Chains A and B, each alone.
Chain A
Amino acid sequence: DGGITQSPKYLFRKEGQNVTLSCEQNLNHDAMYWYRQDPGQGLRLIYYSQIVNDFQKGDIAEGYSVSREKKESFPLTVTSAQKNPTAFYLCASSLVYNEQFFGPGTRLTVL
């Protein structure tokens, strides 16, 4: 089945630690995205990538980093510089001029 996988589903981290969230797609989509979702705030764009080895900052990129070494993969690192990292993180992908497809999400909790 084609789709987007995110792992892990739940992630716990101590303050001051970096953590990497995985996102993989087998839809052959060019573009991939990372969003952060907080209660009552909808989705906010962190980073997006149009092609391999290229990515752009979204609206809330501070404290996050990404890489796009393969078309299928777009991992997100939440660094210790992110002041309030506890949130639900969603990865998405799309073909040009088409809708975005979303993964099941990763819930990150900082202890």
Chain B
Amino acid sequence: AQSVTQPDIHITVSEGASLELRCNYSYGATPYLFWYVQSPGQGLQLLLKYFSGDTLVQGIKGFEAEFKRSQSSFNLRKPSVHWSDAAEYFCAVGGYTGTASKLTFGTGTRLQVTL
């Protein structure tokens, strides 16, 4: 069975500091991996995705993530955090059945940014 672990429930960083959010997954084949961000009471927005190819993936808002197969990880990074990055971040892993993707989401990491 596929699963995702986000070990940090809550992280606080200062504005301008670097950020790394951890994601470990379990999946039986080559995974498709995603990072989504959610502001309170809102839907999820895709930050970036990994399907294949280059293991360092660039996303929106200055985020990047690196797929490390040997460590079953897909950590999200940003070199300099802005106050507007405060939100909840979800990692997801999945594959496809027919035309639909079956995703398993982690429990999320809530990011707080101090000024």
A residues contacting B by CB (< 8 A) are 4, 30-31, 33, 40-45, 48-51, 56, 88, 90, 92, 94-105, 107
Contact = CB atoms under 8 A, between A and B. Distances in A.
Interface of B: 4, 9, 34, 36, 41-46, 49, 51, 90, 96-103, 105-108
Contacts of A99: 34, 46, 49, 101
B102 A45 contact: yes
Contacts of A45: 102-103
Given A31-B101, A99-B49, A101-B46, A42 B90 contact: yes
Contact of B45 (A49, A96, A102): A102
13 contacts: A31-B100, A42-B105, A43-B105, A56-B100, A92-B44, A95-B99, A96-B99, A97-B51, A100-B46, A100-B103, A102-B45, A104-B42, A105-B42
